Chains A and B, each alone.
Chain A
Amino acid sequence: MSANSNSVDPIVEQKIQIPYSYVAGPAVSRFLTGLKDCVFYASECDACGRKTVPPLSFCGRCWKPIREFVTVGPRGVVESFASMPGGETPGVVYALVRLRGADTCLPHLLDLVPGQKAQIGAEVEPVWNEEREGSVLDIRSFRLRQAG
């Protein structure tokens, strides 16, 4: 482009790609490895009793280290949900799931069969993949528990 050009400024297309190797640390590692066995680990503060999932190595509220890990779930309750716009097919539904016994929420996908409606307060359970490698994606989704 010449210096005296009257056309619009060029737009430079670029992409920043940076590889990261995040260290999960002992607490989150416990959570991720637990998923291989279809178990949810939470941290439990011995001062305030708060159960946090995924777990933490410290309680920021009591400012104390946490040494206790307990299991929560696997069933939980929908604290909120959001359906996403789909194209031809229905969009995915995200949910905040409060696993039984936990004081915090785990975001994940909510799988609804035709005719089912998401609802705050609905009971859900995880659907696990056959092959699990210690990732949050070992949970395929949560699904509504049938009444009765």
Chain B
Amino acid sequence: MTSGVAIVGVAQTCYEAAKDHLAYNELVYEVVAKLLRETGVKMADIHSQITASQDMFDGKTISSMSVNEVVGGYLKSEAKVAADGLQAALYGAARILSGSFEYTLITAHAKESESRRPAVTVSMFDPFTQRPLGLHDAISSGLQAERYLHVSGVTEENMAELSRRRHLDAKKNPLAQRAGDFTTKQILESPQMAGPLREMMVSPSSDGACAVLLASAERASAFGKRAVWITGTGNCTDAYWTERDLAEARALELAAAKAYKAAGIRNPAKELDVAEISARCAFEEPMYADALQLFDGDPRAWIRQSAKGEGIAVNPSGGAITGNPTSVAGLTRLAEAYLQVSGQAGEHQVAGARTALAHAADGICGQGHTVVVLRGNSGN
């Protein structure tokens, strides 16, 4: 039995509003081919694959059928997770820890452009009392944003400051979808989405795929600095969105506590070098950073600090707000955290990054959360 699980390689497509030239299984092929090329691992040596996708976005039930062979699942053990790809990574890590597999290939894909997000997300809501009102996820996010702003004191200007910084950082990430040196005024004056949320404060509709290769300790030893260890994981699900206070993320606090304990992290703000947080909307970042104990006290002070690029590096990739598809966003965070602690992040590399966190949110108003802590083999 292996003594641990490592990530030995990652691959991502660039993220775009509409990839009209490729079908979704071809996007997955693109990232898997890149991953095998860069790691030198042969598909013949990978016997376990976990894919993540949403049937409603793919427009096809059991949507993994279309990617099974692309991920090397022909006559092998492929399983699908209908949640964020970061949960697929947890499942994959468990498979390796079981001793049954030496590698597990994790993929996540979505082409939000092929459907209409409001029409797809209306199906998440209760059919008896919520769908007749036409609720979709932009509306529930708007309701959550207003509640969080009211309770925390965070303002629309604060959200714009944070959004400005992430879009600026995204300029250094060649895979980012919406990057640029926007002014807070431009962000505040972008068209309204719902409640206090403006279009530039919310992830745009996005197409893309991401792949991560997990390996047993025995296999990982051959990868040197390119092997990064999963030192802690946590996953927790809260109550339905209408049955909890939307201004807090208790499930994330619990998921993080579990991951930090396993990773031996007592002071996350000091011990983590990078945090890649799945925040589709600007208000989610301070709310989630708070639950992850990345700051203490007033979230407005933390936003001002983070917007200046001070303190712990949060979303140096630009983050999900600049455009990542549903189900892919969290696996993208894991890929980015891996690039940071293995010293391969290129222009957006955080100097000396050794310990990083990746986070994913699932469900209406972040009902479920997944946290993974990574540690690189040596400083860079």
Partners in one complex: yes
Q: Which residues of A contact B79 (CB under 8 A)?
A: none
Q: Are B146 and A120 in contact (CB under 8 A)?
A: yes
Q: Are A84 and B139 in contact (CB under 8 A)?
A: yes
Residue of A nearest to B196 (CB): A82
Does any Cβ of B come within 8 Å of A108's Cβ?
yes
Can you list, as one digit per residue, whether each of A9-33 has a CB less than 8 Å from chain B (1) or not (0)? 1010010100010101000100110
Q: Which of B126, B194, B242, B243 contacts A82 (CB 8 A)?
A: B194
Q: Which of B128, B146, B192, B239 contacts A81 (CB 8 A)?
A: B146
Q: Are A80 and B147 in contact (CB under 8 A)?
A: yes
A8 to B143, CA, bound (A): 40
Q: Are A107 and B143 in contact (CB under 8 A)?
A: yes
Q: Which residues of A contact B21 (CB under 8 A)?
A: 8-9
Can you list, as one digit per residue, whether each of B142-156 has a CB less than 8 Å from chain A (1) or not (0)? 111111001000000
Can you list, as one digit per residue, whether each of B114-145 has a CB less than 8 Å from chain A (1) or not (0)? 00000000000011111011010001001111
With A20-B127, A120-B146, A136-B132 as known contacts, state yes or no: A104 contacts B242, CB within 8 Å: yes
A137 to B135, CA, bound (A): 13
Does any Cβ of B come within 8 Å of A129's Cβ?
no
With A80-B144, A82-B143, A120-B150 as known contacts, state yes or no: A16 contacts B59, CB within 8 Å: yes
Q: Which of A11, A82, A95, A137 contacts B132 (CB 8 A)?
A: A137
Q: Are B139 and A28 in contact (CB under 8 A)?
A: no
Can you list, as one digit per residue, whether each of B222-250 has a CB less than 8 Å from chain A (1) or not (0)? 00000000000000000100110010000
Can you list, as one digit per residue, whether each of A117-148 has a CB less than 8 Å from chain B (1) or not (0)? 00010000000000000011100000000000
Q: Are B147 and A107 in contact (CB under 8 A)?
A: no
Q: Which of A20, A81, A84, A105 contacts B242 (CB 8 A)?
A: A105
Can you list, as one digit per residue, whether each of A71-114 has a CB less than 8 Å from chain B (1) or not (0)? 00000000111111100000000111000000111111100000
Q: Which of A20, A94, A120 contacts B135 (CB 8 A)?
A: A94
Q: Which residues of A contact B191 (CB under 8 A)?
A: 85
Q: Which of A8, A54, A80, A83 contacts B150 (CB 8 A)?
A: A80
Q: Which residues of A contact B132 (CB under 8 A)?
A: 135-137
Which residues of A48-77 are within 8 A (CB) of B? Answer: 52, 54, 60
A residues with CB within 8 A of B:
8-9, 11, 14, 16, 20, 22, 24, 28, 31-32, 52, 54, 60, 79-85, 94-96, 103-109, 120, 135-137
24 example contacts (A-B, Cβ-Cβ < 8 A) are as follows A8-B20, A16-B59, A20-B127, A22-B128, A28-B129, A31-B128, A54-B128, A80-B150, A81-B195, A82-B142, A82-B143, A83-B192, A83-B195, A85-B192, A95-B143, A96-B242, A103-B243, A104-B243, A106-B129, A106-B242, A135-B132, A136-B128, A136-B130, A136-B132
